[in-house]
Structure 1
Amino acid sequence: MRYWLACDLDFAPASSCNMPVNLPETTSKMEGPLVKQFSVFLPNKVGAMLEVVKLLNTEDTHVVALSVSESTDSAIARIIASDPARVETLFRKKNVPFGVSEVVVVELREVATRLVKLLAALVMAEVNVHFAYPLLIRPRGFAAIALHVDDTECASSVLIGEGFKILSQDDISR
């Protein structure tokens, strides 16, 4: 399928406007599912995150990526784990308050130059990035970034079309 990108952005270079872009129809060509992110609600107290990480380690599940946002009384730990099915079962069993969402994990072979290209591609597709954070591991030997976006299907398709490698849960699991 062929798409046309039309730009009316003030900062978009004229050469990038109205150019044809070949994008895959879906991300179904990916090997494995998109990556699951757990948002764990923690009290804002010393040791709360340690308890969660230790809980995961007791079940031989590894934290692959971690980001924490805090407020006065609580914190949200965003966690990508090596075995999301096991994590979900464990959190339910132990009554850990959490939410689950999909994130797009992108391999960055050259962080300095590719990050700009990645973000520009998402802007051109009008995909909003809610938040992003790096992985703690280097799948396939390269840096990777997790992106929580408003449209994972569109973001994945656009980035694949721009030559980025989208990592699946299988790529980051041990």
Structure 2
Amino acid sequence: MMNDFDPSNDGGLVAENGTPVRQFSVMLPNRAGALASLVKLLRSSSIEVIGLSMQDARDATVARLVVSDTDSAEAIFCEKGIPYTICQLVIVGLKEAGPGLLQCLDILMTAETNVDFAYALLPCPEEMALLAMHVEDYDFATSVLNRSGFRLMYEEDLIR
């Protein structure tokens, strides 16, 4: 297991406004039913997938997952011997998906911070679009976005 938590920041687990959302990257065989089996395994423990991004290659697929209970999912992956990595994501709640997305990206560009990858999360109960981003500097990006008035979401906000 690898992660990009900064141990000098309160143990790397709690940010200013909550616990950073953690994403799993899981290597799956590139065959029919592999993702469904993983989701069934998580659901058998009442864990829901609330964000998903897939990158496939010839023999394997990398599934990036945001789940409703990260700690329990991690325990299942360890117990079942499923290899994974963890990283922190910045989650931005956007009231207007189009204009809000451009404003968010413009602010990060002006601050000269890179977005490594991004994807949308499944709809949230508050009827906001949720954008998940992995950025080069989590603390800097969240600070910039907070100062610009964006609503950031944390693990506590995503538990359903």
TM-score using structure 1 length: 0.82
Give the 3 Å change call, closer, same or farther, for CA 139–101 of structure 1 in structure 2.
farther
Tell me, in whole angstroms, the C-alpha distance in 2 between the residues paired with 1:137 and 1:38: 19
Q: Which moved more, 1:36-45 or 1:136-145?
A: 136-145
Do structure 1's residue 145 and structure 2's residue 135 form an aligned pair? no
CA distance in 2, matches of 1:58, 1:85: 15
Q: Equivalent residue for 2:63? A: 77
Q: CA RMSD in A?
A: 1.2
Q: List structure 1 segments (4+ residues) > 4 angstroms apart after TM superposition.
A: none
TM-fit CA distance, 1:126: 1.3
Alignment equivalent of 1:48, drawn from 34, 40, 44: 34
Residues 7-156 of structure 1 mapped to structure 2, 5 A cutoff: 28-30=15-17, 32-156=18-142
Higher Cα Rg: structure 1 or 2?
A: 1
Q: Percent identical across equivalent pairs?
A: 39
Distance in 1 between the 2:124 and 2:77 partners? 26
Cα distance in 2, alignment partners of residues 29 and 44 from structure 1: 39
Whole-Å separation in 2 of the counterparts to 1:134 and 1:28: 22
| Residues 172, 139 of structure 1: alpha-carbon distance in 2 compared, 3 angstrom cutoff | farther
* Residue 139 of structure 1, CA deviation: 4.5
Gaps of 5+ in 2: 1-13
Structure 1 spans left out of the alignment, 5+ residues: 1-26
The TM-score with structure 2 as length reference comes to 0.89
Give, in whole Å, the separation in 1 of the partners of 2:113 and 2:29: 32
Aligned residues, how many? 147
